[in-house]
Structure 1
Amino acid sequence: MNDTTALPAPAAERLARGPQGRRAVISREELIAAAMSLLGPTRSVSTLSLREVARAAGIAPNSFYRHFKDIDELAIALIELAGSSLRRIFSEARQRVSRERSVVRTSLEVFMEQLNSEAGYLDLLLREGKVGSDAFKQAVEKQLVFFEDELMNDLLRLEALNGHKLHRADVVARAITRLVFVMGASAASQSAQAQVDTLEQTALMLKMILMGARTLAVTES
């Protein structure tokens, strides 16, 4: 009988796994998730080994190459996953911003939540952007540029909602993104109270950036 769906669950699972309890088939997403589970606050993607990831995924090492040519390609896929996941989270938070809710405060609160999240996406970006290989740093930089572009569009929308204009919204978005990531890297190892203090300081800095950009827009109009 070749149809494993007709077998009881344990039997079907044994057939799907093949010899030595290894899985015969695994998706790219499952392999990425297995690699992500091996990372921690102090562990870089550069320390992952192919055999270690294969073992965590429950596959034979050769099965790894069905999805990635080497461990570095998998590491960059992890960085891209972290970036896209975080951009979605931040974008959804900014969509809820109204006249009564500051985009600065909302973004920073979400940032701090993600800094302490078990998902580890923000930890990964902060770490690899600082200590990763050149290829990993370039991958993080690419994600930051995506953050900047999306933030610029949201800032223009929200500033218009409140009757404001910004001078060089692209530069404003870049300044905000870079500042938040630098401050976030510092906050990662801080106590809960110190993180609150860092959040407040960063919020003030961001308000100054926005006020300066608004003033320049009025001056030059």
Structure 2
Amino acid sequence: MPAPDGPGRKPSIVREDLIAAALRLIGPHRSVSTLSLREVAREAGIAPNSFYRQFHDMDELAVALIDVAGESLRGIIGDARRRAVSGRSIVRGSLEAFMERLRADDKLLHVLLREGTVGSDAFKRAVDRQLHFFEDELRADLIRIAASQGLSFHRPDLVSRAITRLVFALGGTALDSPPERDEALVDELSQMIRMLLRGAHALSRDNAGGRERAPG
């Protein structure tokens, strides 16, 4: 068994331990980009030099954290799907799931909302990559839902991008707003998204010269 790096320090550590340590240090008002390597190492209970056995630098750790956060964010879509199956509106259901995660002090979600605006270029690219995954899943959902209802949307790729970026931007605003504003924000976002969907449906109908019914 390898000897510990020092008193009170762990003899071994894995990448997940450092990611968990970074998560414990950040919060709604502190970005991962403000963390130092020494802070994370101390929180993880290792010597600073041991950090380099898992990551080349703090940027690599931050990008790994953003990737984990992206998987968490996409889990919201899965929650929305389950709500829709039970008869809930997929729009309202997904927004409520988003706000629930936000108010549950979901630090992974906070990472995505913060690093896309205040992080380094590498962080922003990592966030953008995760949002593209989110958009791809939403686009597939839009196509599936439209087909099941005999509808179609013009450029579902653009619609999914617009919805994702809108929710992401207003989610960042919600972090600094009191929870009492959540219901009003969900109402506003629901209306905005329905407008986007109705507009995309109208464009598809006009381009096809058909008379499809408007989505409800």
Fold agreement, TM-score > 0.5: yes
| Mapped partners of 2:138, 2:131: distance in 1 | 10
- Matched residue, 2:192: 205
Query: Aligned with 2:27: secondary structure?
Result: coil
Q: Deviations over 1:171-195 (max 9, x none)?
A: 1100100111111112211122212
2:49 matches 1:36: no
Residue ranges of structure 1 left out of the alignment (5+ in a row) = 3-14
Is 1:54 aligned with 2:41?
A: yes
Which entry has the higher C-alpha Rg, 1 or 2? 1
TM-superposed deviation, 1:70:
0.6
State how 1:71-90 maps to structure 2 within 5 Å: 71-90=58-77
The residue aligned with 1:188 is 175
Out of 16-25 and 189-198, give the one that drifted further.
Answer: 16-25
Letter in 2 for 1:170: D
Q: CA RMSD in A?
A: 1.8
Distance 2:72 2:86 in 1: 26
CA distance in 2, matches of 1:197, 1:92: 21
The answer for the alignment partner of 1:7 in structure 2 is none
Residue in 1 that maps onto 2:55: 68
**Corresponding position of 1:117:** 104
SS at 1:21 equivalent: coil
- Measured after TM superposition, the shift of residue 55 of structure 1 is 0.9
**4+ aligned runs moved over 4 Å, structure 1:** 15-18
Structure 2 counterpart of 1:102:
89
Q: How many residues align?
A: 208
The alignment-based identity, stated in percent, is: 55
Cα distance, 1:118 vs structure 2 = 2.3
